[in-house]
A and B are shown apart, each in its own frame.
Chain A
């Protein structure tokens, strides 16, 4: 009798566990299918998630918005200076999102230098839910992700919909395309260690005049986030470096520059305004930008990386990883993919007059 009862209980438990498992698989399967893959358009959405597929032995971590992921080439940093780096950038990435991405990164590796692009210091509120998604959806579940959501969510958002994106994208069933099925299990890569490549050229012919602002003070709340970032770096033995990437606009006002300069001096941080040094870097906004000065192209990103790498090597005691066999192997593959992508984009330009290739499959070790 007892044995019968026990077997009934066992069978119930097994059945319940199986049911929960099937439901979970279904849930996450549907979620995976309906969540945008960002492979054929809006590739920026795939950037944050790519980090988890990369090697986590980076000396330098870049944080910030498009001014980092389009303006610095990690391949150049490695090839010219032996510095291993990764760019955890996202479109319109806010200061606190950078902070939580730093927390997230420190869970798996501790870079020696953390480079933060200061343009985000001007924004105290999220631009839109869409930008939040591009920066947060790719993060893996962690305390950092949860806190980033709480800090970023707009009035129309719910935390749950960030943790379970199906609640946000459930109505994509009517716009499912071949892309959603093709990239169901595995996505292609869109960046080269966080760098988003563009080889095309669109000169910065017309630079609009910077509008005057009523108040040039950078928001206090952003300084608090910057403080937290600095303290976190200190606690992990990393150096925080502030940069302003070399793009003409969005405008970077001298008043903002002074405030960042003051902050850097007060806390003994390195602050480099690459825009002010664009002549020294060798940037030519006739040839080194692909969208009229908003972002640099590959040529520009390589120049700024080369120049900035020299600055870092000069100031900090960064080992040259080019002679490290393991790093060499990793970076050879990254460089090959990088060069292949550049060739493909050039071919696109010749054939169609515009870049069409934004994704690639990682080269397997040869």
Chain B
């Protein structure tokens, strides 16, 4: 069920009504039924994989929790030969077994379904719910206290299969989501209206900007020989804008839909195109994925015996300081290649991951130089310099992300090269408006998407300015009326200027494929 379909709007309306009309105790059941119904629209077969992940995570979490309780209250603590350290080690080893079992099993299902031809289906959102399940089990394992994992199968089922975030994230943590997901909250006008406005804002970005630009972008990317030079540059910029509007729009719908029911889902973006470096960008873009890989891959790998062994020879060759840098660089590369592969099994994604990793390593190596420049040059602190940094980061990420849109690494590199070799922008400039119309960007499309982008930037600037005073949401003087008026404006803007219905192919969110 597409978020942008009338079916989803109807589905969400029914769920929200049921959520508030039924007794509070029934709310988790309502959400679970909604999750199952939503998931079943993508095919019932996927439900089997989802059920396996839920049950194994729940069972492992429960066992780990039992062991944590045992660790807290050892039965034999009063015996004279009781060794607390040895007991703790035993408990930890037992917990580790359950954790590894659940993690490896679920990673195995993910690998088989996503990367092999063995599975006849690719369950919807498998990358996202598997990561949620893994974080749940690992967090339970890492916690020194019992109670991190839930003992309720219903709760874990609701969490893993939570319908607003199953198709494209965010990858919420159980500890974050449980605070509001299982709270028996009454209807709150403020939460509901904020959620509704967020949903409409998401639809606006998706339908007015992303779906209007996407056909042109796909057309340009489909034939890089014909659309070379300036057109490649245009494709890359279009993709940057489309990807942003599409992904953040989808997440807005997710967060808004959850919030309409009083559930706070983790934020996934923080003005990523205002980032002043690629590292900064990745702290702002798809935040929950970044923190997931940081917490469950980067840190464990960085401190693992394996990596220490691998980088040991470098210590003798280049010295201790350099070997540490090599160690981190290697872990960074592994991390980014893994992130690339998580996005998909094609070489494009590997290249995309490598490009990210290499650029990050290079920039980290250049960091001391930059620090010196920043310290000694007044210009470094000016708004102009910040603007240059922002623009540089935007174009850099736009180029790296463009690996996604071409059919192969070679094709992507060839297209990039043509920007500099095939007459630059003359093709575009000569074609003018006709040239744009030829690629499916008629004047109304440009006007619509352009106005949409301007509004998005304006909203971004306003919300950044007022960020300190809010969440606008928490401010005392928050006005439901103004919020609903904004919602109505967004509704009508999307209704009229959205690219949907006949003549526009309904487009899945880009991140759904991952």
Contact = CB atoms under 8 A, between A and B. Distances in A.
Given A15-B481, A23-B488, A160-B6, A168 B502 contact: yes
A295 B318 CA distance: 92
B495 A156 contact: no
Contact of A34 (B6, B444, B496, B498): B496
Nearest to B443: A174
A10 interface: no
A26 B492 contact: yes
Interface string B493-511: 0011111111110000000
Contacts of A156: 502
Given A30-B495, A160-B6, A166-B495, A171 B503 contact: yes
Interface in A127-183: 129, 156-158, 160-161, 166-168, 170-171, 173-174
B interface, size bucket: 10 to 19
B484 interface: yes
A171 B481 CA distance: 29
Interface string B76-100: 0000000000000000000000000
Contacts of B498: 170
B502 A170 contact: no
B463 to A, nearest CB: 24
Interface in B426-482: 443-444, 481
Contacts of B499: 171
A55 B500 CA distance: 39
Nearest to A33: B496
Contacts of A157: 502
A125 interface: no
Nearest to A158: B6
B416 to A, nearest CB: 34
A167 B502 CA distance: 9
A19 interface: yes
Contacts of A160: 6
A34 B495 CA distance: 12
A30 B489 CA distance: 13
Nearest to A171: B503
A274 to B, nearest CB: 37
For chain A, the bracket of interface size reads 20 to 34
B99 to A, nearest CB: 47
A30 B497 contact: no
A168 B504 CA distance: 11
Contacts of B484: 19
A174 B501 contact: no
B501 A173 contact: no
Contacts of B492: 26-27, 30
Given A19-B488, A23-B488, A173 B496 contact: yes
Contacts of A168: 501-502
Nearest to B189: A12
A296 to B, nearest CB: 33
Nearest to A174: B444
A160 B10 CA distance: 11
Contacts of B6: 158, 160, 167
Contacts of B488: 19, 23, 26
A173 B502 CA distance: 15
B496 A170 contact: yes
A23 B484 CA distance: 11
Contacts of A167: 6, 495, 500-501
A123 B496 CA distance: 35
Interface string B356-398: 0000000000000000000000000000000000000000000
Interface in A5-54: 15, 19, 23, 26-27, 30, 34
Nearest to B485: A19
A30 B502 contact: no
Interface string A271-284: 00000000000000
Contacts of B497: 170, 173
A227 B498 CA distance: 43
A142 B37 CA distance: 30
A347 to B, nearest CB: 38
Nearest to B447: A174
Contacts of B501: 158, 161, 167-168, 170-171
A50 to B, nearest CB: 25
A170 B6 CA distance: 15
Contact of A30 (B444, B496, B500): B496
Contacts of A171: 444, 499, 501, 503-504
A129 B502 contact: yes
Q: Which of B6, B488, B496 has the most CB of A within 10 A?
A: B496
B204 to A, nearest CB: 13
A34 B496 CA distance: 9
Contacts of A173: 444, 496-497
B12 to A, nearest CB: 15
Contacts of B444: 171, 173-174
A296 B504 CA distance: 38
A157 B481 CA distance: 35
- Which 9 A-B residue pairs are closest in the complex by CB-CB distance? A174-B444, A160-B6, A170-B496, A156-B502, A23-B488, A173-B496, A158-B6, A168-B501, A167-B501
Interface of B: 6, 443-444, 481, 484, 488, 491-492, 495-504
Interface of A: 15, 19, 23, 26-27, 30, 34, 129, 156-158, 160-161, 166-168, 170-171, 173-174
Given A30-B496, A160-B6, 20 more contacts: A23-B488, A26-B488, A26-B492, A30-B492, A30-B495, A158-B6, A158-B501, A161-B502, A166-B495, A167-B6, A167-B495, A167-B500, A167-B501, A170-B497, A170-B498, A171-B499, A171-B501, A173-B444, A173-B496, A173-B497
10 contacts: A30-B496, A129-B502, A158-B501, A166-B495, A168-B501, A170-B497, A171-B444, A171-B504, A173-B444, A173-B497
